Amino acid sequence: MNESAARRVVLLRAFERAPPSDAWSDDDRAWATRAAAQVEGENATADAFIARRGALGVERLAERDARVPKLLASVTWPAWIGWVVPLLALAAGAAADSLGAGARINLLAPPLLATVAWNLAVYAAIVVRGAWGLFDRRARDLGPVARLFARLAQVTGSAPRRAGRIAADFVGDWGGTSATLTAARIGRVLHASAAAFALGAVAALYLRGIAFEYRAGWESTFLGAPAVQGLLGAVLGPASALTGIALPDTDGYDRLRFAVSGGAEAAPWLHLYAVTLGLVVVLPRMLLALGDRWLEARLAARLPLKLDEPYYRGLVRALDQKPMVVCVAPYAAQIAPQATLNLNALLVQAFGARTSVRVAPTVAFGAEDDAVLDQTASEAALLTPLFALTSTPETENHGAFIDRLRSTAGEAKLVVVVDESAFRRQFGAESARLGERRALWRRFAADRGLPAVIVDLERADQPEARRSLQDLFETATTG
């Protein structure tokens, strides 16, 4: 999907990972899935389906929540930066006087030599970071100059004030999703600006040379003629070979001292410096800018999302001909009708509208050896033994039940689910015992190599449990 579609998908994801609200409810979530599947058809690719769903969802959200357009705008690249910053750099280069004072051009003056040295250092840093990035992902992040530029340009996004957690999640997720694209854009602008700065400096030199007669020479407190010959030979040697303008020998450099002769005609030296800046700055920087522009266009047209993440996997299941089957196997835990509805809603929210939830008969405490799973378990993609937090986990009973399920589960992935509703009623939601009992069950499940999700089946809205189920099922699937 392109950049614009990906941005809408990430924004919709931020709303859907938050608790349901008036702006976006579970019914809206299911509607977006159905509508996108109907529009794209049964043969739609995951990419096209998710992009369509994001477009439909954000369109509805924008009608209800005034933050939506502002959030999208806050992370949208300002196109004017691409031409304003290089123009400013061009003007800065033209204003970067002076190579020397008055009518004299000091061949050792810092502006030109510093420009050459700075750009060579940048090229070395690019090579080092590129090589380092093959081994360490952190090297691919924006460098300090690029980060500063990103802050000034506000391309990293700044959430509208009082926008809340949804905005923060969206801006953070989009920053990670678009990091490579942002780096390409910043690189393009910085490279183009460096080339423009050099062009501005060269243009100013020639324009001033038309109106004024300049004399070129050098003066230094620390360097003698041999050192100056070596330095300028290294810097201007390629331009000399290309233009045929010869560089003087040691005696010639000695005669170029302002204190000795007042310098020499400046035109040849201006030509040498102009060609040097073209070879060292303008040409390489423009090639780098073109490379970043190519990468930018490529990513803007097709920005990759990690569709193997649990959130996207749950959405894509809506396109599958066969729904995902979740088998819940309660052990010594009676599930009330409303709790069953809440559990069903939780699993559907976690894994998609086409999720089929089947609850097996409750196995009594001590009857784990006689537990028999019907054909449901063999068809299930996820098998969840359900326990009550009021029970203390026992290896001989709860552990044996898990082992029994594991031996008959086939290809199903196991995730332990523990209902804390009765425990909360008995001891209170703020009880220290609640945290201790949660930790006990998590350790019990971890000792058997299984993840555990704590739920309150008396509550219909449980976004944290939903995200945990998605993440743990993904871990079990990929692990």
331 and 383 inside one domain: yes
Residues 241-266, mean pLDDT to the nearest whole number: 91
235 and 333 inside one domain: no
Cβ contacts of 425 within 8 Å, gap of 6 or more: 458
pLDDT > 90 fraction of the chain, expressed in percent and rounded:
38
154 and 273 inside one domain: yes
- The CA-atom distances, in angstroms, between 70 and each of 76, 171, 286, 379, 467 are 10, 12, 34, 46, 27
240 within some domain: yes
Coil, helix or strand at residue 448: coil
> Residue 330: in which H helix or E strand, if any?
strand 325-330
111 and 176 inside one domain: yes
275 within some domain: yes
pTM, whole model, 2 decimals?
0.69
310 within some domain: no
33 within some domain: yes
**Model confidence band, residue 101 (pLDDT cutoffs 50, 70, 90):** very low
311 within some domain: no
Q: Domain range holding 63?
A: 3-78
Supply the Cα-derived Rg of the chain in whole angstroms. 34
Domain end point (choices 57, 78, 99)? 78
Q: Give CA–CA dist 137/308, Å, rounded.
A: 20
Q: Give CA–CA dist 106/117, Å, rounded.
A: 17
Q: Are residues 270 and 243 in contact, defined by beta-carbon separation less than 8 angstroms?
A: no
**155 pLDDT above the threshold of 60:** no
pLDDT at 110: 64
Amino acid at 440: L
Q: Give CA–CA dist 54/76, Å, rounded.
A: 16
Q: On the CB side of 131, how many CA atoms lie within 13 Å of its CA?
A: 5
53 and 98 inside one domain: no
Cβ atoms < 10 Å from Cβ of 334 = 10
Tens of pLDDT, residue by residue over 262-285, are 888 889 999 999 999 999 999 999
**Model confidence band, residue 143 (pLDDT cutoffs 50, 70, 90):** low
Sign of the CA dihedral running 216, 222, 224, 228:
negative
Domain end point (choices 267, 301, 335)? 301
Q: Are residues 76 and 187 in contact, defined by beta-carbon separation less than 8 angstroms?
A: no
Q: Are residues 218 and 174 in contact, defined by beta-carbon separation less than 8 angstroms?
A: no
Q: Give CA–CA dist 350/291, Å, rounded.
A: 41
pLDDT at 96: 76
290 and 363 inside one domain: no
**459 pLDDT above the threshold of 90:** no
Backbone angles phi, psi at 404, to 5 degrees: -65, -45
User: What is the residue-wise DSSP string for 105-119?
Assistant: EETT-HHHHHHHHHH
* CATH code of the domain covering residue 371: 3.40.50.300
**Model confidence band, residue 153 (pLDDT cutoffs 50, 70, 90):** low
Cβ contacts of 20 within 8 Å, gap of 6 or more: 26, 461, 463
Query: What's the N-to-C CA distance of the chain in angstroms?
Result: 28
Give how many domains the chain has, as a whole number: 3
375 within some domain: yes
Cβ contacts of 391 within 8 Å, gap of 6 or more: 332, 333, 365, 398
Phi-psi region of 428 (alpha: psi -120 to 50; beta: other; left: phi over 0): left
Q: Give CA–CA dist 156/133, Å, rounded.
A: 21
**235 pLDDT above the threshold of 90:** yes
68 and 36 inside one domain: yes
**Model confidence band, residue 212 (pLDDT cutoffs 50, 70, 90):** confident
Amino acid at 16: E
How would you class 430 by CB atoms within 10 Å of its CB: exposed for 0-12, middle for 13-18, buried for 19 or more?
A: exposed
Q: Give CA–CA dist 18/29, Å, rounded.
A: 12
- Across the chain, what does the average pLDDT equal? 84
With b for 16 or more beta-carbon neighbours within 10 A and e for fewer, the 169-186 pattern comes to bbbebbbebbeebbbbbb
Q: On the CB side of 47, how many CA atoms lie within 13 Å of its CA?
A: 10
277 and 384 inside one domain: no
DSSP state of 381: S
41 within some domain: yes
> Residue 326: in which H helix or E strand, if any?
strand 325-330
97 and 196 inside one domain: yes
**Model confidence band, residue 462 (pLDDT cutoffs 50, 70, 90):** confident
Residues 204-232, mean pLDDT to the nearest whole number: 87
Domain end point (choices 40, 58, 78)? 78
Amino acid at 220: S
Q: On the CB side of 133, how many CA atoms lie within 13 Å of its CA?
A: 12
149 and 258 inside one domain: yes
57 and 152 inside one domain: no
309 within some domain: no
Residues 374-385, mean pLDDT to the nearest whole number: 75
Cβ contacts of 283 within 8 Å, gap of 6 or more: none
Tens of pLDDT, residue by residue over 388-439, are 999 999 999 999 999 888 887 777 888 899 999 989 888 887 778 898 999 9
Q: Give CA–CA dist 260/248, Å, rounded.
A: 15
Q: On the CB side of 149, how many CA atoms lie within 13 Å of its CA?
A: 22
163 and 276 inside one domain: yes
Backbone angles phi, psi at 410, to 5 degrees: 65, -125
